[in-house]
Amino acid sequence: MKAPAGWKVRQHYRGKTLVFEDPLVHSQKGVEYTRNITVALRNEVRPIDALESQRLSQRLIQELSASVSEFEINESRVIDYRGKGDAILVFTSFKQGKTPMRQMHVFTSGSSNSVLLTYTDFRETFDAEGGLDKAWMSMMSAEVKGDAPKRYDGVFYAASSLAFMATGAYLSKQLRRKQLKAELRQEEESLFDDDDDFELQRPAGKEPWPFAETELAGRIA
All domains in the chain, ordered by first residue: 8-139 (3.40.1000.10), 153-220 (no CATH)
Beta bridge partners of 93: 72, 102
Query: In a 3-state reduction of DSSP, which class is residue 93?
Result: strand
Residue range 148-175, pLDDT digits in tens: 999 876 553 445 456 556 655 665 666 6
Check residue 79 and give its pLDDT. Answer: 95
How far from chain centre, in Å, is Cα 213? 54
Contact 126, 132 (CB under 8 A): yes
Average pLDDT over residues 84-112: 95
User: Sign of the CA dihedral 17, 146, 143, 114?
Assistant: negative
Residue range 9-57, pLDDT digits in tens: 999 998 999 999 999 999 988 889 999 999 999 999 999 999 999 999 9
Residue range 173-219, pLDDT digits in tens: 666 666 666 666 666 555 555 554 444 444 455 444 343 333 333 33
Strands, DSSP E only, in 15-174? Answer: 16-21, 26-28, 31-33, 36-42, 69-79, 87-96, 99-109, 114-122
Does the reported pTM lie above 0.75? no
- Which of 80, 113, 166, 93 has its CA nearest to residue 1? 113
Helix (H) or strand (E) holding 11: strand 8-13
Dist. CA 17–CA 211, nearest whole Å:
79
**Phi, psi dihedral angles at 129 (to 5 degrees):** -60, 130
Going by pLDDT thresholds of 50, 70 and 90, the confidence category of residue 115 is very high
**Which has the higher per-residue pLDDT, 77 or 187?**
77
Average pLDDT, the chain: 81
**Which has the higher per-residue pLDDT, 63 or 184?**
63
Check residue 217 and give its pLDDT. Answer: 34
106 contacts: CB under 8 Å, gap ≥ 6: 81, 87, 88, 89, 90, 116, 117, 139, 142
Dist. CA 21–CA 11, nearest whole Å:
11
